[in-house]
Amino acid sequence: MKKMINNPDDVIDELMTGYLIAYPEYIRRSNLHQRALIGKKRHPDRKVSILIGGGSGHEPAFLGYVGQGMADGVAVGNIFASPSPIPIQAVTREIHDNHGVLYVYGNYAGDLMNFEMASEMTEIEDDIETAVVIGNDDVASAKEIEERRGIAGELLVYKAAGAAADFGYGLEEVRRIAQLANDNTRSMGIGLSPCYLPQTGKPSFDLEDNEMEIGLGHHGEPGIEKTTLRSAKETVQVMMQNILKENIYQSNDEVVVLVNGLGATSQMELYIINKEVDEILKEKNIKTYKSYVGNFITSMEMGGFSVTLMKLDDTLKSCIDHPVDCPNFKEV
């Protein structure tokens, strides 16, 4: 492990400090909890507040998506570990505006437990209504949709939820639109090289020099198979086959494409992957409305990437078109 850090026990607090220093006009620490961050920019029409969160190590997720047009606050967990209910409740208390709070997080056992507990606490102790959308876009993680993990597609759910909130909708309508975004979104990931956990120095998974893992999760969870390293074209073909066989994306549909790097994969490679995705979509006569290519939800210095499609209707298109102004995601 070769990391530019200080004491491994301090990485979360230090990264948060460095983050707050970088973007003082966007974000502040909660008065109620050290691991709760609160956005400073909020659309004047917004009623419902959006709360996101999860484990650390995915930077710029999740704290990078607090800002105008996206989330109002974030609860920050340890590396690859859910935040406890206490910071989630703290964020909820600070961001709510008497119109309810939508929680958006990924489908992981720890997050489910902690966000559900926080939701009960805030409803009982603080009389704040909450609703929830759980990201589960990773087609490789399970056959049953309800059992699937959330990976990079969550970014698009934040975007939809944030836009719907900025449109001034109530809690149930914001939840419905965010859920629609999630339901229309499918992803698949590839692992090339592991990341190393700061406190143990252990790799997140093992692969030989000539191997890749198809369907890898964002924390190094095993995928569908380990194979020898393939070309970008062959790899994307396998990924797109798995995404397209979900039967969501049809000829003449318009989609958002998201090519997400896990950390150590070069941007050169991500753009080559984007080209391969585009060729397959053109063959299928599926239209790309918008592409996002970059490191949006990473796994520290893991090598690999994911491909995500979100099918658009008029509602989701208006959400994608809505401007956002976050430290790590700006759409003019």
Q: How far is CA 129 from the centre of its chain?
A: 23
> Using an 8 Å Cβ cutoff, are 205 and 194 in contact?
yes
What is the distance between the alpha carbons of residues 137 and 308, in angstroms, rounded to a whole number? 8
Quote the Cα angle for 13-85-68, to 5°.
Answer: 65
User: Which member of 43, 96, 218, 219 is catalytic?
Assistant: 219
Residue closer to a copy of itself, measured from CB, 85 or 198 = 198
Cβ proximity to a copy of itself, 105 vs 292, nearer residue = 292
Minimum CB separation of residue 264 from a copy of itself in Å reads: 4
Secondary structure (3-state) at 211 = strand
CB atoms within 10 A of CB 74: 29
What's the count of helices (H) and strands (E) in the chain, helices before strands? 8, 14
Of the candidates 33, 58, 96, 218, the residue annotated as catalytic is 58
Complex with a copy of itself: residue 18 or 98, whichever CB lies closer: 18
What are the E-state strand segments in 40-95?
A: 49-56, 73-79
Indicate the residue among 182 and 193 with the shorter CB distance to a copy of itself. 193
CB atoms within 10 A of CB 317: 14
Q: How far apart are CA 212 and CA 150, in angstroms?
A: 21
Q: How many CA atoms lie within 13 A of 323 on its CB side?
A: 5
Binding site for a copy of itself (CB under 8 A): 2-6, 11, 14-19, 21-23, 56-57, 59-60, 190, 192-193, 195, 209-210, 212, 229, 231-233, 235, 263-276, 278, 288, 291-295, 298, 300-301, 303, 305, 325, 328, 330-332
DSSP letters for 146-172: GGPPP-TTHHHHHHHHHHHHHTT--HH
The residue among 288 and 315 lying less far from a copy of itself, judged by its C-beta, is: 288
Least separation, in Å, of the C-beta of 93 and a copy of itself? 26
CB of 261 to a copy of itself, least distance (A): 9
Report the nearest approach of a copy of itself to the CB of residue 325 (Å): 5
Alpha carbons 229 and 234: distance in angstroms, whole number? 10
Q: How far is the CB of 250 from a copy of itself (least distance, A)?
A: 21
**Smallest gap from residue 176 Cβ to a copy of itself (A):** 29
Q: Which is nearer to a copy of itself, 23 or 103 (CB)?
A: 23
Whether residue 58 lies in the annotated active site: yes
Angle at 301 between CA 156 and CA 28, to 5 degrees: 60
Sequence-ordered list of residues with C-beta below 8 angstroms from that of 192, at least 6 positions apart, any chain = 207, 212, 229, 264, 265, 303, 304
State the catalytic residues.
58, 219
